């Protein structure tokens, strides 16, 4: 197991290349199961979650080859069973349910694992697949689904906290091989859904409306192989943008798509950061005096819950009181106690965190609880006085490609330590 030792106090300066989006790549890899023909996916980040997905695809019978940031998948002969020992480690593995059901007419997939940041049930996934005609039972920790033939249907996939991203992806993938027309109302609008739809259409699917609340899928008899390049990771871009502002540095994000980051960039400018979008890149420069802003997490295109913890760190450096409200995951404030160890003044009041700044942060041992909390602790460590030891960074390696190397190139004093 690894940890990071970070000595704070240096502004981040330079350029960083944004990797492919983990939350796009995992469904793209699962979608390759919908055809017997080879599929090629480019800009695949080197992440532990991606490595787990490779193992899962191999376990169901697909042939997977990786070369650099390119992954080739050939699913000529596959089986519809995903074992607990693999699936339990990664929530994104649930997106195999739709492709296996669409391709084989049956699937047995273990209930998923991943970060502990809320209940995140898959009831909307099952609701959508049942609407397509699947018979589904949950037994002994497995979702068992079968059907003679999926049939298109109209359905509503809105939930308590808004649309379901992986649920939309699951239903969309299954519906590509269903008989007739499927209409998903209250579909997730995230860029990752648009990216998946473009890949599926490249395979011969007929999908319209992706990126809007209504997606229409006209089923086809079969799909063929395709090549596709994943979109850049908007959450990694947001993390580096916030880190640049928090450290009062200047960082150019190469490959980032500002159109995927409107809510984050709007709040950064409101807080006093300066942005430059010229030349096809995005440059973020921290202001000398940061202003407090209020943030409420929402489904896309609102402020992303996956950037909430990082934004909270920025607000510890602002002069005044900020209120950050979490509307997506009910327990996503587990990073607050660790930030308090560094000297942050944060009080939790129901679904909101009240942040009083500016706080002088001081290095201390801290422990990461989930992927984005890990990123927040790293940002806090960069601005803290002295050394901070961030433990349990396996969470970071799930979603950030070589983050310590990237930060080091920007001038951060950061070491990866082996705790074994």
**48-92 pLDDT per residue, tens:** 999 999 999 999 999 999 999 999 999 999 999 887 777 776 777
Q: Give me the pLDDT at residue 118, please.
A: 43
- Percent of the chain with pLDDT strictly greater than 70: 97
| Position 120 pLDDT exceeds 60 | no
More confident residue, 135 or 123: 135
Backbone phi, psi, residue 78, to 5°: -135, 160
Contact present, 115 and 91 (Cβ < 8 Å): yes
Q: Give me the pLDDT at residue 160, please.
A: 85
Q: Give me the pLDDT at residue 323, please.
A: 98
Closest CA to 124 of 53, 82, 184: 184
Q: Return mean pLDDT, the chain.
A: 94
| Position 113 pLDDT exceeds 60 | no
Contact present, 151 and 171 (Cβ < 8 Å): no
| Position 119 pLDDT exceeds 70 | no
Instruction: For residue 117, name the pLDDT band (cuts at 50, 70, 90).
Output: very low
* Strand ordering across the sheet containing 181-185: 154-156, 181-185, 214-218, 206-208
C-alpha span between 404 and 126 (Å, rounded):
39
Measured between alpha carbons, how far is residue 214 from residues 163, 195, 217, 394 in Å?
11, 16, 10, 37
pLDDT in tens, 340-365: 999 999 999 999 999 999 999 999 99
SS3 67: strand
| Position 256 pLDDT exceeds 90 | yes
pLDDT in tens, 193-204: 999 999 999 999
Measured between alpha carbons, how far is residue 401 from residues 76, 192, 307 in Å?
30, 18, 17
C-alpha span between 21 and 191 (Å, rounded):
10
Burial class of residue 160, CB neighbours in 10 A (0-12, 13-18, 19+): exposed
With residue 319 as reference, give the H or E element that holds it. none
Q: Give me the pLDDT at residue 212, please.
A: 98
How many residues are recorded in the chain? 420
Backbone phi, psi, residue 60, to 5°: -90, 0
CA atoms within 13 A on the CB side of 31: 38
C-alpha span between 356 and 99 (Å, rounded):
47
- Omega cis (within 30) before 301: yes
Backbone phi, psi, residue 130, to 5°: -65, -35
C-alpha span between 322 and 117 (Å, rounded):
22
pLDDT in tens, 290-307: 999 999 999 999 999 999
DSSP state of 304: -
C-alpha span between 98 and 112 (Å, rounded):
14
pTM of the model: 0.96
Closest CA to 150 of 172, 169, 166: 172
SS3 129: helix
C-alpha span between 55 and 28 (Å, rounded):
15
Q: Domains of the chain (ranges plus CATH)?
A: 2-18+233-418 (3.65.10.10), 22-219 (3.65.10.10)
C-alpha span between 349 and 211 (Å, rounded):
34
Other C-beta atoms closer than 10 Å to the C-beta of 244 total: 28
User: Mind telling me the catalytic residues?
Assistant: 115
- Judged by phi (left if over 0) then psi (alpha if -120 to 50, else beta), residue 118 lies in left
Instruction: For residue 278, name the pLDDT band (cuts at 50, 70, 90).
Output: confident
What sign for the dihedral angle of Cα 285, 290, 291, 297?
Answer: positive
Closest CA to 150 of 99, 78, 95: 99
DSSP state of 317: T
* Residue whose entry in the numeric block shows the structure tokens 């607990």: 84
Q: Give me the pLDDT at residue 377, please.
A: 98
Contact present, 178 and 151 (Cβ < 8 Å): yes
């Amino acid at each position: 197991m690894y940890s990071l030792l970070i000595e704070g106090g240096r502004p981040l300066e330079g350029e960083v290349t944004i990797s492919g989006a983990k939350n796009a790549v995992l469904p793209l890899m699962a979608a390759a199961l919908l055809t017997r023909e080879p599929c090629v996916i480019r800009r695949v980040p080197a992440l532990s979650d991606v490595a787990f997905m490779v193992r899962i695809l191999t376990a169901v019978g697909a042939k997977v080859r990786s070369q650099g940031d390119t992954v080739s998948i050939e699913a000529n002969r596959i089986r519809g069973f995903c074992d607990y020992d693999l699936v339990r480690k990664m929530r994104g593995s649930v997106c195999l349910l739709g492709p296996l059901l669409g391709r084989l007419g049956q699937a047995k997939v273990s209930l998923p694992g991943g970060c502990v940041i809320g209940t995140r049930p898959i009831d909307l996934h099952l609701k959508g697949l049942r609407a397509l005609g699947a018979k589904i039972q949950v037994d002994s920790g497995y979702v068992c689904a079968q059907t003679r033939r999926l049939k298109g249907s109209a359905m509503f996939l809105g939930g308590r906290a808004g649309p379901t991203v992986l649920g939309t992806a699951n239903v969309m993938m299954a519906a590509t091989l269903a008989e007739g027309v499927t209409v998903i109302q209250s579909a997730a609008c995230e860029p990752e859904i648009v990216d998946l739809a473009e890949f599926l259409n490249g395979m011969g699917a007929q999908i319209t409306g992706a990126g809007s609340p209504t997606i229409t899928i006209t089923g086809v008899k079969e799909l063929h192989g395709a090549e596709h390049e994943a979109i850049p990771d908007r959450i990694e871009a947001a993390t580096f943008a916030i880190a640049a502002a928090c450290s009062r540095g200047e960082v150019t994000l190469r490959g980032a798509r500002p159109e995927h980051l409107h809510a984050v960039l709007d709040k950064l400018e409101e807080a006093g950061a300066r942005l430059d979008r010229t030349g096809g890149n995005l440059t973020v420069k921290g202001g000398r005096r940061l202003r407090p802003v209020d943030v409420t997490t929402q489904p896309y295109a609102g402020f992303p819950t996956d950037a909430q913890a990082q934004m909270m760190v920025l607000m510890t450096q602002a002069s005044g009181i900020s209120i950050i409200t979490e509307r997506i995951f009910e327990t996503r404030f587990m990073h607050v106690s660790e930030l308090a160890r560094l000297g942050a003044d944060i009080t939790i009041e129901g679904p909101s965190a009240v942040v009083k700044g500016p706080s002088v942060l001081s290095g201390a041992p801290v422990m990461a609880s989930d992927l984005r909390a890990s990123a927040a602790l790293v940002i806090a460590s960069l601005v803290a006085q002295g050394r901070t030891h961030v433990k349990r960074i396996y969470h970071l390696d799930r979603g950030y490609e070589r983050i310590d190397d990237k930060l080091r190139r920007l001038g951060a004093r950061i070491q990866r330590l082996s705790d074994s």
